[in-house]
Structure 1
Amino acid sequence: MSRVLVTGSAGFIGGYVVEELLGRGHEVVGVDNYSKYGPVTKSYDDHPGYTFVEGDVRDVALVERLLDGCEHLVAGAALIGGISYFHTYPYDLLAANERIIAATCDAAIKARATGTLDKVTYLSSSMVFESTTHWPSKEGDERQIPPPLSSYGFQKLAVEYFARAAWDQYEVPFTIVRPFNCVGVGEGRALGDVEIPSGNVKLAMSHVVPDLIQKVLKGQDPLHVLGDGEQVRHYTYGADLARGIVEAMSSPAALNDDFNLSTAESTTVRELAELIWTKINGDRPLSLHHDAAFEHDVQRRVPDVAKARDVLGFEATTSLSEMLDVVIPWVRQAMADGVI
């Protein structure tokens, strides 16, 4: 098994990735500066195969030191949040994330030249397809369509250019993965999140699944949704995404290639709201109220998942209903604990 450095290991997707790596017998080094949530406790903190370092990945010397003896680097560190987060902090996200990816690549270039580093697996985002006008979005479209309009989407596209440029000039092998709409447990309120009123409820996360769950649990009726509710998303379970990320990291067939990681199932926000409502309120009739949408609220985000299936053998198998059976109880408890 390999020794793997995971940047952003205390984050939402990062936590699932660390669990998947440890479950497969890898030795994992995690680094995070706790800038998003503050100090967090993870189930694997005391795992004998896990070492955690609190630090900032913009410190090239630190990342280079942590890469010593590592065969793989999973580059997941980034400032990231819900839709209100990247509308509130467009410059901070762009500036901080550019510094993070540049420092990560600087360290990887040095580690590749002097150490054991085999490859970097970069976490991009479905937001690179923000400006598309045709669906499904397949790998390669991001270099043919207009660039994303949001600073967050633009910066995630820049991550992919960093990955390819580090290969072109310094021959640092890479794989790019693009998660779509991660759903799971463990994501609390970010330190910098601002509260957004939605009817009689104020929320700070602005991730549609936990936000809708909170509003229904708080008894909001009619239920407020952003826009017309016809926005299409592919809600993908965090554990499935982690499995795909680790497959992409490990597979020789993924070398210097890119993959969409997602469920194949399309769901509108209206359909999501109906499912959450029914799971919590049973047969009680649902009425929706439509709040004004954010400027960069992408109307359709639909991936082509054939490449990940055919090359990696990866398919996201957890249904949205199964995800909600896990996430609803977690949100209920998190609300009671005051962490969201």
Structure 2
Amino acid sequence: MHSSLRILVTGGAGFIGSHLCEELLRRGHDVLCIDNFYTGTRNNVAGLLANPNFELMRHDVTFPLYVEVDRIFNLACPASPVHYQFDPVQTTKTSVHGAINMLGLAKRRRARILQASTSEVYGDPEIHPQPESYWGNVNPLGLRSCYDEGKRCAETLFFDYHRQHNLEIKVARIFNTYGPRMHPNDGRVVSNFIIQALRGEDITIYGDGQQTRSFCYVDDMVDGLLRLMESPADCTGPVNLGNPVETTIRQLAERIIALTGSRSKLIAKPLPADDPRRRCPDISLARRELDWEPRCMLDDGLMRTIEYFRATLSA
């Protein structure tokens, strides 16, 4: 990235956002972190508050923001089903109004802007693994639609601003990411399993546990987002960022039990509605355009995440 820039990170006190803020500061930039603390926490950025180049502001992206910035990372939106289904109307507003407000800011400032989109734009995919050219198989009326369709609409807005106003945009489609600072109650499989294992509780698997996910460690994800932001202007994306190695949910549970030394047992429960059976990115575009692929092995990332939750639970 160029010499010191003023960079806005929306949702910057969230899981991925806080790691991104940290890395931007490490690279010598000024960081304005905004968050409404719906799922993000001050705790996630507590270690950054003493840094004179870091500013934390409570703000909701569904309202306009007037600040001077050179780059915008738009990460604001609850990303786990537990949180985005709690207030689905607000979830859609965050994706759609949030995109409009941040794109408006980028247009005024002629700032480059990156949208944190999601693998959920592919819905329950009929193509495997999913390339960026796949349009998806999404239920527009389901319980997850507020998130899936909100993110799809945000992508539409980004490309329309790009075509209509010649705005420099980047769209990243983020696949399952895990690591320290995940929200402990977000209902995601990695945090759920680790907490259940550390407490010695039964580990709940939905369905037969043969459904797959691909897990990308947060440091690799931040590296991908930064490479995309600094890629040539014609590399708008969308670009899949995620780990192309598939793991079944059952395998994940067994790894976590082994790594924590837990005595937890596995228990099966019925699958939730619209839960995708397989989820795996085709990352050939990221490899080619960004020279990026995940480096952190699953066991290493899980160990770091387990240590984080161990410390959190004993605090």
Distance 1:46 1:56 in 2: 23
Distance 1:15 1:38 in 2: 9
CA contact (8 A) 2:11 2:40 kept: no
User: Secondary structure in 2 aligned to 1:252?
Assistant: coil
Q: Does 1:9 align with 2:7?
A: no
Tell me which amino acid in the other structure corresponds to 1:159.
A
Which structure 1 residue ranges, 4+ long, deviate > 4 Å from structure 2?
none
CA contact (8 A) 1:263 1:317 kept: no
Tell me which amino acid in the other structure corresponds to 1:46.
A
Distance 1:92 1:183 in 2: 24
1:106 deviation in Å? Answer: 2.1
Q: Does 1:245 align with 2:236?
A: no
| TM-score of the two chains, using structure 1 as the length reference | 0.84
Query: Which of the numbers 36, 47, 60 marks the counterpart of 1:56?
Result: 60
What are the ranges of 5 or more consecutive residues in structure 2 without an aligned counterpart? none
Tell me which amino acid in the other structure corresponds to 1:216.
A
1:138 deviation in Å? Answer: 0.7
Distance 1:38 1:121 in 2: 22
CA contact (8 A) 1:175 1:254 kept: no
Paired residue for 1:214?
195
Q: Does 1:31 align with 2:26?
A: no
Q: CA RMSD in A?
A: 1.9
Tell me which amino acid in the other structure corresponds to 2:266.
L
Q: Does 1:331 align with 2:309?
A: yes
Query: Which of the numbers 129, 138, 141 marks the counterpart of 1:136?
Result: 129
Paired residue for 2:70?
71
Distance 2:221 2:73 in 1: 13
CA contact (8 A) 1:126 1:180 kept: yes
Tell me which amino acid in the other structure corresponds to 1:7.
T
Paired residue for 2:87?
89
CA contact (8 A) 2:35 2:57 kept: yes
Paired residue for 1:294?
272
Query: Which of the numbers 284, 290, 297 marks the counterpart of 1:319?
Result: 297
1:322 deviation in Å? Answer: 0.4
Distance 1:210 1:254 in 2: 37
Do the aligned partners of residues 38 and 11 (structure 1) sit closer, same or farther apart at CA in structure 2, a change above 3 Å counting? closer
Distance 1:148 1:240 in 2: 30
For residues 56-205 of structure 1, the aligned pairs below 5 Å read 56-60=60-64, 62=65, 65-66=66-67, 68=68, 70-78=69-77, 80-112=78-110, 117=111, 119-142=112-135, 145-149=136-140, 150-151=144-145, 152-189=147-184, 204-205=185-186
Deviations along 1:93-138, one digit per CA (max 9) or x if unpaired, are 12333221222122222222xxxx2x11110001111132011101
Aligned-pair identity in percent equals 27
Distance 1:86 1:32 in 2: 16
Tell me which amino acid in the other structure corresponds to 1:28.
V
Distance 2:309 2:49 in 1: 22
1:172 deviation in Å? Answer: 1.0
Distance 1:247 1:110 in 2: 24
Distance 1:308 1:272 in 2: 25
1:187 deviation in Å? Answer: 2.8
What are the ranges of 5 or more consecutive residues in structure 1 without an aligned counterpart? 190-203
User: Secondary structure in 1 aligned to 2:42?
Assistant: coil
Distance 2:83 2:129 in 1: 26
Distance 1:12 1:254 in 2: 29
Do the aligned partners of residues 246 and 300 (structure 1) sit closer, same or farther apart at CA in structure 2, a change above 3 Å counting? same
1:336 deviation in Å? Answer: 2.5
Do the aligned partners of residues 101 and 266 (structure 1) sit closer, same or farther apart at CA in structure 2, a change above 3 Å counting? same
Pairs aligned (count): 307
Paired residue for 1:259?
239
User: Secondary structure in 2 aligned to 1:290?
Assistant: strand
Deviations along 1:289-311, one digit per CA (max 9) or x if unpaired, are 21122102111111101110111
Paired residue for 2:253?
273
Distance 1:37 1:3 in 2: 21
Distance 2:32 2:85 in 1: 32
CA contact (8 A) 1:254 1:312 kept: no
Deviations along 1:317-338, one digit per CA (max 9) or x if unpaired, are 001100111011211222233x
CA contact (8 A) 1:32 1:53 kept: yes
Distance 2:117 2:79 in 1: 14
Distance 1:33 1:328 in 2: 27
Q: Does 1:303 align with 2:281?
A: yes
1:185 deviation in Å? Answer: 0.9
